Homo-oligomer: A and B are copies of this chain.
Amino acid sequence: MPTCEGAFFDYLREVDCSDVEVYSIPEGSVVFPKVPLMRVEGPVAVVQLLETPFVNLINYASLVTTNAARHRHVAGKSKVLLEFGLRRAQGPDGAISASKYCFMGGFDATSNVLAGNLFGIPLRGTHSHAFVSSYMSLDEIPDKALRSKDGSRVCQDFVSLVQEWLQKIQVADSLGGVFGYTNQSELAAFVSYALAFPSNFLALVDTYDVMRSGIPNFCAVALALHDLGYKASGIRLDSGDLAYLSIEARKVFRAVEKEFNLPGFAKMVITASNDLNEETIDALNKQGHEVDAFGIGTYLVTCYSQAALGCVFKLVEINSKPRIKLSEDVAKVSIPCKKRCFRLYGKEGYPLVDIMIRESEPSPKAGERILCRHPFIESKRAYVVPQHVEELLQCYWPGRSDKPRAELPSLDKIRSRCMQQLEKLRPDHIRRLNPTPYKVSVSAKLYDFIHCLWLNEAPVGELQ
């Protein structure tokens, strides 16, 4: 039995958004609970159809960007952060979103080639364990010749050159006795990789045994490349005790630098991966490590520390009448009215408080005192004299109106905005342990309005 009249489909066919206006806080901004990320105005039926797509598109994007920014915060500015989440995201498109928004939140590169192609995100990756184990021996390398970087000469047997270096390493006193027999499949894979990408030699060293096989095999190939004018990129560790292994690997690189007089070899990049997250990076920082770059996947894209962001869509005004949604849970009570939102900055350049006002109220002004009230708790309020005032909601879709449309910046610009906004925050708001809550307020007029409406709408009952 049809539960829908045919005329509804005719209506849907004609629906467009020319009567809708969309306001949004610029992408890449730091935002706080209760302040609306978007304001959508228009015919209620059309706007209602936009609810689900908007909430779907905003929730995960905001969440994973925040998660990326948190990882950047704990890793520090000097580390390279690589997004490796493609395999653990919700299908191909979930992964594309993850790559885009992790870059926005402060990651440096992704291993997702399509995301690199679509958004211009730098691509970074290493070879796989399967690549290493696909080789059996050095005999499988058909073309052993490698031209020097400057093109001046050709080494006809790069394999033998590597083997010579491996022997030198094995007998070197300063590296004394650490290395015995190394895995020859692994060595063949490294040599093959170096022949294909002599300028980008980055080896995954944990397929068999990091310290006994991966590191000496890597050093032998790196030294042979050096003979031909190339500089190896570094190693990746994907299992085991990353603090210990990175420190031990660094010791070997320092010893090789000294033994063979190769300035810079000690600075070889050490990349770590394997179920990293905020907590493990924090723990690595506390115990000391020699990792230069972190490859982070699962915990980043699945947002381990909070798997979903609870952004919702609320009707706050209809036909110029404000609406409120009450709830058994106070946290779910919405703030009514079409609102304008401002961030007030103090003398030191830090944001002090966000304030929401009714649309009819005058904007807060720099140098003018304004009362900021907690939306629900009567006793929480403070006068603020802002040094600088920033209006948060900008018009991105003016519909038929002649309002100016805010520019949609490039991904790089959004990323820079995100980094800058985070740097502008007072450090105690973003420290890991017990951060000071940032204050979100309403004007005195909006406060009175909310509470008047609340009393009007809530049925009066008796406590029993």
Listed in ascending order, the chain A residues whose CB lies under 8 Å from chain B are: 1, 3, 44, 48, 51-53, 55-57, 59-61, 64, 86-95, 97-98, 128-134, 136, 180-183, 185, 197, 199-200, 206-210, 212-213, 239-241, 245, 298-299, 301-304, 307-315, 318-319, 321, 323-329, 332, 457-461
Contacts and interface: CB of A to CB of B under 8 A. Distances in A.
Contacts of A213: 459
B91 A325 contact: no
B89 A212 contact: no
A401 B318 CA distance: 65
As for how many copies of this chain the complex holds, the number is: 2
A328 B206 contact: yes
Contacts of A239: 327-329, 332
A95 B55 CA distance: 12
Contacts of A310: 298
A298 B302 CA distance: 12
A318 B189 CA distance: 14
A60 B208 contact: no
A90 B90 CA distance: 6
B133 A209 contact: no
Contacts of A329: 239-240
Contacts of A325: 129-130, 132-133, 207
Contacts of A48: 128, 130-131, 134
Contact of A130 (B128, B197, B314): B314
Contacts of A95: 56, 90
B136 A208 contact: no
A124 B86 CA distance: 31
A116 B128 CA distance: 38
A323 B461 contact: no
A185 B321 CA distance: 12
15 contacts: A55-B87, A59-B87, A89-B94, A93-B94, A133-B318, A180-B459, A183-B459, A208-B458, A209-B458, A239-B327, A239-B332, A240-B329, A241-B328, A302-B308, A303-B307
A136 B321 contact: yes
Nearest to A60: B90
A315 B94 contact: no
A370 to B, nearest CB: 29
B86 A60 contact: no
A323 B94 contact: no
B56 A92 contact: yes
Nearest to A48: B130
A197 B327 CA distance: 25
Given A239-B332, A303-B307, A460 B180 contact: yes
Contact of A324 (B61, B98, B133): B133
